[in-house]
Structure 1
Amino acid sequence: MALSSIPYLKAVETTLTACLCITNFPSEYVEKHDKPEIETQYSLEIIAPNPMIVTKNEKERVKFEVSFNSIRLSILVKQSDDVEKILCRRFMRHMMLRASTDFPVLRKKVAHSDYSITFLLTNKHMIDYNKRKLVDFIIYFMAEVDKDINEMKISLNSRARLCAEEFLKMF
């Protein structure tokens, strides 16, 4: 983890910890339904009117949308060039395809098109998992995703260099 990202991750951790004071709130419209209000938006009075955004720079930010019983957390991962954009899109797609089984706090689709990945935390996740472990998982994910994408980019460049050398040996 780069030293420049420590204050950013601390700010995200503090904000997320403060937002995770969610509780059960049954639907006011459908009996025996407990849907995340941030997703359904039936009761606008229990949704925070303005989302909170924590920004490191113009290429990295986190958007917190909070309601009484759920939080939607959209993350924009740093993508400095076209190769990183492609790698990030493929990596996030790979993760989102496994959202329901391996990563139950992930959404299968991004909530906002200008973000890379979206987490949906509900009161059921607070019951099933420890609050501290959820926060640690999201912070760890944010810290490691940049490193993973950089490693994939280095690996891709080295493989491309080897392929180019083999191709140019023929001439």
Structure 2
Amino acid sequence: IVERHNIPEVEACKMPKVILMTLYITRLPLEYVWIKSSIDSIRPIVKIKHEDDIEHILARGMTRVLNLRFMKYINWEISEMKLSLDTRARIVAESFLGHVV
């Protein structure tokens, strides 16, 4: 069972004790990955350099691919949650109707 929150602790920052170490990885000043983490979520921040038009096009394409992969995973997770909810609702309905009939 996973407890779900509307606002991750990384964004809320209500309890400083649950915010974990921030990791900053850099190759150049224009290229870095910054990972903010807490006990219930992680927020990756990726900066890609755009020095010329080719790099801009390649970075935009890579960002689009990463977004599509993320959305595919989120859509899959939502579908799984809906199936789980339907299954639980069916079990409850059968149990309720079994006692009524």
Structure 2 length-normalised TM: 0.51
Task: Write out per-residue CA displacement over residues 108-149 of structure 1, whole angstroms, 9 at most, x where no aligned residue.
Answer: xxxxxxxxxxxxxxxxxxxxxxxxxxxxxxxxxxxxxxxxxx
Residue 72 of structure 1 deviates from its aligned partner by 1.2
Q: Which residue identity is paired with 1:72?
A: R
Q: Distance in 1 between matches of 2:30 and 2:13?
A: 32
Q: Distance in 1 between matches of 2:42 and 2:62?
A: 23
Q: Which residue identity is paired with 1:52?
A: L
- Does residue 57 of structure 1 match 2:12? no
Select 1:67's aligned residue among 30, 38, 41: 38
CA separation of 1:72 and 1:95: change in aligned 2, threshold 3 A: same
Structure 1: runs of 5 or more not aligned? 1-23, 27-32, 105-171
Select 2:19's aligned residue among 43, 47, 63: 47
Q: Distance in 1 between matches of 2:13 and 2:28?
A: 34
Q: Distance in 2 between matches of 1:96 and 1:65?
A: 19
> Whose RCO is larger (CA < 8 A, sep 6+)?
1
Q: Residue 38 of structure 1 aligns with which residue?
A: 10
Q: Distance in 2 between matches of 1:81 and 1:95?
A: 21
Among all aligned residue pairs of Structure 1 and Structure 2, give the percentage whose two residues are the same amino acid: 30
Q: Residue 76 of structure 1 aligns with which residue?
A: 47
For the aligned residue pairs, the C-alpha RMSD in angstroms reads 2.7
Residue 99 of structure 1 deviates from its aligned partner by 1.7
4+ runs deviating over 4 angstroms: none
Q: Residue 131 of structure 1 aligns with which residue?
A: none
Instruction: Determine if contact 2:19/2:38 at 8 Å carries over to the other structure.
Output: yes
Equivalent pairs, count:
71
Q: Residue 60 of structure 2 aligns with which residue?
A: 89
Q: Distance in 1 between matches of 2:5 and 2:43?
A: 16
Q: Which residue identity is paired with 1:84?
A: E
Q: Distance in 2 between matches of 1:58 and 1:47?
A: 25
